[in-house]
Amino acid sequence: MLNADVSKRKDGAIARGVGMMTQVFADRAENSEIWDIEGTRYIDFAAGIAVVNTGHRHPKVIDAVKAQLDRFTHTCHQVVPYENYVSLAERLNALVPGDFEKKTVFVTTGAEAAENAVKIARAATGRSAVIAFSGGFHGRTFMGMALTGKVVPYKKGFGSMPGDVFHAPFPVPIHGVTVEDSIAALDKLFKADVDPDRVAAIIIEPVQGEGGFYDAPRALMVHLRKLCDEHGILLIADEVQTGFARTGKMFAMEHHDVVADLTTMAKGLGGGFPIAAVTGRATVMDAANPGGLGGTYGGSPMGIAAAHAVLDIIDEENLCDRANALGSRLKQRLESLRADIPEIADIRGLGFMTAVEFNLPDGVTPNADFTNAVKAHALKKNLILLTCGVYGNVVRFLAPITIQDDVFAEALDIIEASIRAARADVSE
């Protein structure tokens, strides 16, 4: 079986709207490595978009899911509940930042978590409006699209979005938007477009994912918390991509010394198995009436079992510390290239949520072509990279935090070689 043959079948069988970063079809995977159907080995610096933080097929995750398979696979927690759903909620209630009583609901995807957070906020406040940020990503459902601050490809062609969603600019100094600009825009929003007393929630990624791996400045977070407290607005932290050791702490909000009222999570929680959650203030979480939250597959037994194992692995293998160490090594390697690569405009990241941004040599104009060239050269050398950013000029690095030292060293060499190859292309 060849990748090219399956790709042709894919074109005839799968909707065009399902975009694919590569035409490499996976056959098996282990920790940070994937082998395709032709037997070719790849180093995975995507991790299923920050899903397998604990690596592909971590033995403890596999053992936990196998044990659950031998007991039952589905009952629907709303019909016949199960204890490990309760105990996982207890663990998240203790782990999510905030020195107050918390409760949790489990769903299946990050988009579903965002939707439910908005539902809960509206039920708790009796208000309808929500404020999100430019460049933010919160899912592909209709409310997820409305919250997302990027049109192409997420909103293009899908018609009108749900109402009462407003956007403020996210501070990105490299693109000329300061914290002061964002704060001023929020003030203008309250004066021109929406009464703050009608706002149920402000939702923000503590580090933007799809938007470009921009860390929310602490000054903005402090202002948002003050604003929310002043007007009775709930603060929602979207930790879907940032959660579970990726940024060097269990949750990225821990970097900001600011506590959200509601936290959404998914991706890394399940170690490759679908599960998502909303955790928040108990009084807020209890605002929805019985039956108003949940879903047939919400908190599936497989996902719950996997999530328990993931939390054990993060603790036992000190993955927060490892994320910091790996991110530091990667950033040092990238910094060593600055003198030779004028396209490098910025190197940033908390923990192992690291990115490099490429501009034209003028240092100002985003350079998506150079970025895509780096990604293409890396793929030719069997390293899978992802791009992101509103301008498509950022390479984000999301390898499993459990990546083997020798494989990581190999990947660093490929990253450097790919960046230098992209520079050579420009010089020709």
Confidence of residue 155 (pLDDT cuts 50, 70, 90): very high
Give the residue among 268, 278, 271, 272 at the shortest CA–CA distance from 298. Answer: 278
Q: How confident is the model at residue 417 (pLDDT cuts 50, 70, 90)?
A: very high
User: Are residues 299 and 150 both part of a single domain?
Assistant: yes
| 9 and 92 part of one domain | no
Provide the domain count of the chain: 2
205's CB contacts (< 8 A; 6+ apart) are 133, 136, 137, 211, 216, 237, 238, 239, 240, 241, 242
One DSSP character per residue, 129-153 reads EEEEETT----SSHHHHHH-S--TT
pLDDT, one tens digit per residue, over 336-382 is 999 999 999 999 999 999 999 999 998 899 999 999 999 999 999 99
- Is position 15 within any domain? yes
Order across the sheet with 234-238: list the strands: 102-107, 276-281, 262-265, 234-238, 199-204, 129-133, 165-168
> In this structure, are 263 and 403 located in the same domain?
no
Q: In the prediction, which pLDDT does 215 show?
A: 97
CATH of the domain at 333: 3.90.1150.10
Per residue in 35-56, pLDDT (tens digit) is: 999 999 999 999 999 999 999 9
Do 19 and 99 lie in one domain? The reply is no
**Domain-located, residue 37:** yes
Q: With respect to residue 64, please indicate whether it lies within any of the assigned structural domains.
A: no
Indicate which CATH number applies to the domain containing 260: 3.40.640.10
Give bridge partners of residue 277 from the DSSP assignment. 106, 265
Tokens in use for 385? Answer: 């990279």
Which of 296, 316, 336 is where one domain is finished? 316
Is 67 inside any structural domain?
no
Reported as type and span, the H/E element at residue 29 is strand 26-30
Quick one: 298 and 411 in the same domain? no
pLDDT of residue 426: 86
The reported pTM is: 0.97
Query: Does residue 23 belong to any structural domain of this protein?
Result: yes
Residue 282, pLDDT > 90, answer yes
On whether both 267 and 371 belong to a single domain, the answer is no
Q: Are residues 112 and 7 in the same domain?
A: no
Minimum mean pLDDT range among 123-127, 222-226, 362-366: 362-366
Closest CA to 271 of 128, 65, 85: 65
What tokens appear for 151 in the block?
């049109």
Of 12-26, 45-59, 90-104, which gets the smallest average pLDDT? 12-26
3-state helix, strand, coil in the chain (%, to 5): 40, 20, 40
Query: Is residue 304 located within the same domain as residue 332?
Result: no
**β 344-350/353-358 pair status:** antiparallel
Asked if 213 and 77 sit in the same domain, the reply is: yes
Which of 294, 316, 338 is the last residue in one of the domains? 316
Strand runs labelled E in 53-208: 102-107, 129-133, 165-168, 199-204
Please check whether residues 350 and 365 belong to one and the same domain: yes
Q: Which of 273, 301, 316 is the last residue of a domain?
A: 316
Q: Are 282 and 230 contained in the same domain?
A: yes
- The answer to whether residue 62 is domain-embedded is no
Name beta bridge partners: 358: 344
Q: Which domain holds residue 154?
A: 72-316
The distance from CA 296 to its chain's CA centroid, rounded to whole angstroms, is 24
Q: Are residues 130 and 168 in the same domain?
A: yes
Tell me whether residue 362 is in a domain.
Answer: yes
Average predicted confidence (pLDDT) for the chain: 97
Angle between helices 59-69 and 301-316 (to 10 degrees): 150
- Rounded to an integer, the average pLDDT of 119-123 is 98
Whether 66 is in a domain gets the answer no
- The DSSP letter of residue 254 is G
Could you give the CA distance from residue 182 to residue 175 in angstroms, rounded to a whole number?
13
Report the run of H or E that residue 382 belongs to, with start and end: none
Name residue 281's beta-bridge partners: 102
